Structure formats: structure tokens, C-alpha cells
Amino acid sequence: MNALDAPATLHVPARDIPVPTSVSPEAQAVLSMGSLGPSADLPPLDDVAGWKAYVAESDGFVRSMVESTLDNFSGTIAEREIGACTMYVVTPEGTSDEDRRVYFDIHGGAFVLGGGDLCKMTAVVSASQVGAQVWSVDYRMPPDYPFPTPVDDLIAAYRVLVEERGPEDIIVGGSSAGANLAAAMILRARDEAPPLPAAAVFNSGGFDLTEASDSLRTNDGVDNLLSSGAVRALHLYAGGHNLRDPYLSPIFGDVTGFPPTILMTGTRDLLLSDNVRMHRRLRAAGVDAELHVWEAAGHGGFLGMAPEDADRFAELRRFVEKHWSRARRAAPSVAAHSELPT
């Protein structure tokens, strides 16, 4: 049969997928937990009360697991109001007044979760990972504020940041939906002319809301944190807009001139293909882009509980240190920004 006449769907036999012995015992233990992600039974798109109840329940579960994050943090946490949003400014202990580096962190959560105090906790975790000050916006989210409001909030905060710091001091990063929003915000910044950041960090990002990527099917059921049940949240966020809009699905954007980027994912990540495709898209545009794929890792890795996660954090730290250093060397004058307010 001609390959062009092949059926559109490949039927494969049902089978059991063992926990691989190719990863650490800690990673095996996480994989053995099975599904840890949100229920596939999400509310209908027009059920505002149902979505708010889902967000409250899901955020409460996550909060119970990570609330000790703030207790163990050494440093300062300040709050600023930027437009309708709170910006958390997290400064790790030991950061000098002369260190103007900022990691602009965009929290994930399927576009609906992770706001409020969870946004603050995520910023604290990121500050410990990058060893620098973190700015994180508690951007508005569905069901009350679908696209484009979250991107509007982020670009407004980014404009404030570039007024106070040089672009060579700024790295933008996000995980999952946060990586999508980070990419969309960078596209907006490129289109609207604020200076682009020194680099970008995408951790298990979702860059194509049209659901075209291969791993959305092949990894469904083996990623123990994310399943196809989360797709309805993507449509809630899109709010009826064209899913191929580059600010919704950055994979369809013109990424020419994008800053150096690292993409991190795993072989069991439901969004593996989104990261592979985005990496190729960036490389085709001549962007300095790295793709790191961890064996058997699901969405976001192994919950921070395995040596493989430490390796992921080390790659992140290496990347940000490299590009902060490189961008500052290439800047016309770092001192030119020294008189700006902090």
C-alpha cells in the first residue's frame, strides 16, 4: 500500500507499560504512584461556578503539599501592584544590592491554577533554583479572564521590568502553561518593540493548543501528572479565539530574533512533542536553542523527588548563568542602567 494511502489512525494493542529500571529508584517510586494529575471530569466551559470550585479544590491540594516552601525560604518577599495584578519580588538571602539580574517567572497550572499564594510559592522555588531575584506576576486567569488578559497582564509587567533593569539582566521563564505564556509574551514584546530578554527558559511547555502534537496521544496514560483530560482548560483559556493565533499557540508564530532558549521535557511528558516541535521551529529560525529530554520523565519531571530533577535544575542554573554573563558582556554599558530605580 502506498504510504500516502495509509490510514489516518494507527490501532495498537492494549498493553501494560512497566516502570523502567533505566531511571533512579526515586524516579521509579514516583512513576509507581500512577496518575497524580487533575480529574478528566472538568466542568463544562460555561460553568463558571464549577470552574471556580475546581480551581479552589486543586489549588488547595497543591498548597497542602508545598506550603512549607515559604517557611524554609531565607530572603525577602515584596509585593508590588502593577495594573490589576500583584507582582511578587523574591530576593534570596545573600543577593547583593549590585546584582541586578532578574528571573521573570511565569507560573503554570493549565492556565487556570497556581494563582495567589501559590504564585508566590512558585517564585520562591524559582529564586532558589536560579540564585537571583525573581519577579512573578499573579496574572488574571479564566474563567473570569480568558485570553488575551493573561498575556496583557504579563506584557504590562514586563514593560515595567525593562524600565527598571537592562534587557541583559532579564531572563524569562515558565513551566507548562507558564512556558506558553512566556513564549507568547516574548512574541508580543518583539512585535511591540520593548527590548527582548537575555534568554528564555521553557519547562515542559505547551506551545500548540490545536492538539496536533503526536505525544498528546502516545503519552496519554503514561504521564502521571498530565492527561488529555486537561484539554478542556485550554479551550476555557482560549475563549473562542482562533487556536492558531501565535499569542495562543506560539508554535505558529514568527520566532525570528527570539532570545537563546532552553527547553526541558521528558520521554513520558504529554507535551514532549510540543517541545520537540518548538525546538525545531527555533532552530530553523537561527535561534540558539537547547532541548533536554529526560528518560521516563513525565510533565515537569519527577516532582522534585529524584536525582534526575537535580540534574534538570543544574542544567537550568548553567543556562541562566551562561546567558546572564554573555548578555552583560555584550551590552553597550551595564552601568548605563545603574541609576534606574529598583
**Nearest by Cα to 105 from 177, 178, 186, 169:** 178
**CB-CB neighbours of 287 under 10 Å:** 17
Cβ–Cβ < 8 Å for 202, 278: yes
Give the whole-angstrom CA distance, residue 198 versus residue 258.
Answer: 10
Sheet holding 85-92, edge to edge: 75-82, 85-92, 133-137, 102-106, 170-175, 199-203, 261-266, 289-294
Check if 11 is active-site: no
- Please pick, among 269, 279, 292, 309, the residue that the annotation labels catalytic: 269
Cβ–Cβ < 8 Å for 48, 118: no
Is residue 211 classed exposed, middle or buried when 0-12, 13-18 and 19+ CB atoms within 10 A define those classes?
A: middle
Check if 269 is active-site: yes
Give the whole-angstrom CA distance, residue 5 versus residue 7.
Answer: 6
Phi, psi of 159 (to 5 degrees): -60, -40
Q: Locate the DSSP E strands across the chain.
A: 75-82, 85-92, 102-106, 133-137, 170-175, 199-203, 261-266, 289-294
| CA-only gyration radius of the chain, Å | 20
**CB-CB neighbours of 52 under 10 Å:** 15
Sign, CA dihedral 246-250-253-257, equals positive
Query: How many residues can be counted in the chain?
Result: 342
- Please pick, among 126, 136, 175, 176, the residue that the annotation labels catalytic: 176
Is the link from the previous residue into 246 a cis peptide, with omega within 30 of 0?
Answer: no
Check if 299 is active-site: yes
- Please pick, among 107, 279, 299, 323, the residue that the annotation labels catalytic: 299
What residues are annotated to the active site? Answer: 176, 269, 299
